[in-house]
């Protein structure tokens, strides 16, 4: 199992629509993962250099790669609908 964290940096001019992110974008991402998605969530960050974070628990790197190969353009194309910053993806093995 892997953890996929999508981190959004906070800048002087960054914007982030959490309502859209949690109601539209993250459900689309989770649906793209299909049965390989074991859970997901989103949070607004209150301190530090991040504006927000989304996460998903995914069965495997292969499942993530397959979902992104098939649906990645749609997922990435949706980013301007909720933020004006580029996300940073952090993937790790669940310990």
User: 3-class SS at 10?
Assistant: coil
Answer yes or no: are the C-beta atoms of 49 and 9 closer than 8 Å: yes
* Residue 86, pLDDT score: 96
Domain ranges in the chain? 2-93
The DSSP code for 16 is B
55's CB contacts (< 8 A; 6+ apart) are: 3, 4, 5, 6, 40, 41, 42
Q: What percent of the chain has pLDDT over 70?
A: 100
Q: How far apart are CA 36 and CA 29, in angstroms?
A: 11
Domain 2-93 classification at class level: alpha beta
* Residue 8, pLDDT score: 98
Q: pLDDT under 50 in the chain at which residues?
A: none
* Residue 17, pLDDT score: 98
């Amino acid at each position: 199992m892997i953890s996929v964290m999508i981190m959004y940096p906070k800048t002087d001019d960054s914007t982030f629509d959490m309502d859209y992110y949690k109601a539209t974008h993250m459900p689309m991402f989770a649906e793209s993962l299909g049965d390989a998605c074991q859970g997901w969530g989103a949070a607004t960050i209150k301190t530090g250099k991040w504006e927000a974070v989304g996460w998903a628990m995914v069965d495997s790197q292969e499942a993530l790669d397959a979902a992104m190969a098939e649906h990645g353009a749609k997922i990435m194309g949706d980013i301007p609908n909720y933020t004006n910053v580029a996300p940073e993806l952090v993937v790790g093995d669940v310990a």
